[in-house]
Chains A and B, each alone.
Chain A
Amino acid sequence: MIRISNLDVRYGGDGSEKQVISNLSLSIEDNSSLGVIGPNGCGKTTLLHTLAGLHDNYTGELRLGVHEDKVALILQDIGLLPWKTVRENASLGLDLGRSENYSNVEDLLHELDLFGYREDFPSQLSGGQKRKLGLARALAVDPRVLLMDEPLVSLDEFTREELQNKILTLWQERNLTMVTVTHDMEEVSFLGQNIAVLSQVPATLKCLIENHGAGEVEFRGSEEFYETVRKTRQELP
């Protein structure tokens, strides 16, 4: 279980320090999914980066419940390395020593329809394929916790839905605990079994919406789904 208690996160220093997250408490059950939504610049990305260990200027308690090697983060702009091929990008975590299961990379490339492009470079991929590659790279190290920062931003509606379904399948197949930060109300309602609505900066938890229907592809378009979207919209500051 991921446990966040009284988290305060600051940025900057030398007199220009800015508090980005204030007294945030949350817990996320193993193998469940949490969606995080909030106004622009409220600290959603900072929360994910702090969970991923990229930012250490914080106070409060942060327990991931797994070794840090078992946490994977998909960055908002993916951060694919242009000089590495699709296969090399997907294997990055393994090349850095986090896993030796290279057959997992092949499986993921097959599963995400990227195997035929394995020797191409990121500049030769479409937007959707780049997002898939980001997902493959994160899952290649066989994580227990998957953190995603706007994983499907700037994709067309069709590709977005296709990838949302794919994420759902991978989450269930691989027993992941998943945290998705997004500004899209439908996406957060589709992917999050719980939805954390954050306040304006410094972000604190405004409310937690239970969304038990999430987790099935058929959930999209149901009455319950639209009810969650409506509730989320109401709670957003």
Chain B
Amino acid sequence: MKKGIVRYAVSFTLIILMWWFASWLVGLLLSGPKSSVLPGPLTAFATLIKHWGDIWPNFLRSGYRLVLALGFAIFFGSTAGLVIGFEESVNEYVSPVLYLLYPIPKIVFLPVILIIFGLGDLSRVIFIFLVTIFQVMISARDAAKNISPKWIKAVQSAGGNRFQIYRHVVIPATLPGILSSIRISIGLGIAALYLAELSYTNQGLGYYIDNSWKVFAYSDVFAGILAFAILGLGLYLIIDLIERVFCRWNYEDRS
């Protein structure tokens, strides 16, 4: 725990130093109003604290959209991925469909989604869900495909049925892989969230940042970016905690 805090402190200090250096360099090279386009970390943190009252409702709305979308993507993506990966006959038919759909940039569907599902939260949740579900599904499928047959035989020889094989082998064996894909999906989800909040909404961190750009309030832009980072960090810490609890076997010292 202590080591973890020290590591976070070191990383945080490094980022702050690099940010401060970049900000100093931009201020040196650019002149006039442009010179404040990259405010330093102190300015950004001060703005975040000062404007927290304005940022908080946007933070909550973005968090709500992201968590809901990721929750659905993780549940449906991992369930479907495990079945596709573990059931060879399903894999044969479904994988080509996945390969067709996965590479399509989902952003092209955003206007369609907004027209069909309206301008509220639902459209944005569906968009983030579409962006993230394939990542989780494909990772879960690959993890399920690589399960060692000896574990399945162990459960079969002890009288386990198909459902028990999923419960005692497929789910625990693939959990570390699924959690890794969730980490990637959090990053993807935040990027999608920003895009989804750029148009036809008046709340969310994406809206807050975009609005601040439009009025050249650069320190507010970076306060919004910091709020995004806090949102992501919170989700990553939750995933780390889940991994610590449910994948304890992955952390124990090997003899």
Contacts and interface: CB of A to CB of B under 8 A. Distances in A.
A75 B249 contact: no
B168 A79 contact: no
Contacts, number: 70
A96 B154 CA distance: 11
Contacts of B247: 83
B252 A98 contact: no
A72 B253 CA distance: 31
Interface in B163-181: 164, 168-169, 172-173, 175
Interface string A81-112: 11110000000110111100000000000000
Nearest to B164: A96
Contacts of B248: 121
Question: What bracket does the count of chain B residues touching chain A fall in?
Answer: 20 to 34
Given A83-B172, A92-B168, A124 B159 contact: no
Given A75-B150, A75-B154, A96 B252 contact: no
Contacts of B154: 75, 78-81, 92
Question: What bracket does the count of chain A residues touching chain B fall in?
Answer: 20 to 34
B158 A98 contact: yes
A126 B168 CA distance: 23
Nearest to A69: B159
Contacts of B172: 81, 83-84
B156 interface: yes
Contact of B157 (A75, A80, A97): A75
A80 B248 CA distance: 16
Residue of B157, B159, B247 with highest tally of chain A CB at under 10 A: B157
A124 B252 contact: yes
Given A121-B249, A121-B252, A124-B252, A54 B158 contact: no
B99 interface: no
A125 to B, nearest CB: 7
B158 A96 contact: yes
A96 B159 contact: yes
B27 interface: no
Interface of B, secondary structure class, is helix
Nearest to A97: B159
Contacts of A93: 158-159
Contact of A96 (B168, B175, B255): B168
Given A69-B159, A81-B172, A97-B159, A124 B255 contact: yes
A50 to B, nearest CB: 12
Interface string B219-255: 0000000000000000000000000000111001111
B111 interface: no
A98 B254 CA distance: 31
A78 B169 CA distance: 15
Residue of A68, A77, A83, A126 with highest tally of chain B CB at under 10 A: A83
Contacts of A82: 249
The 10 closest A-B pairs by CB, nearest first: A79-B154, A79-B150, A83-B172, A93-B158, A73-B157, A121-B249, A83-B249, A96-B160, A77-B150, A123-B254
5 contacts: A77-B150, A79-B154, A84-B249, A93-B158, A123-B254
Given A92-B155, A141-B159, 6 more contacts: A79-B153, A82-B249, A92-B154, A120-B252, A121-B252, A124-B254
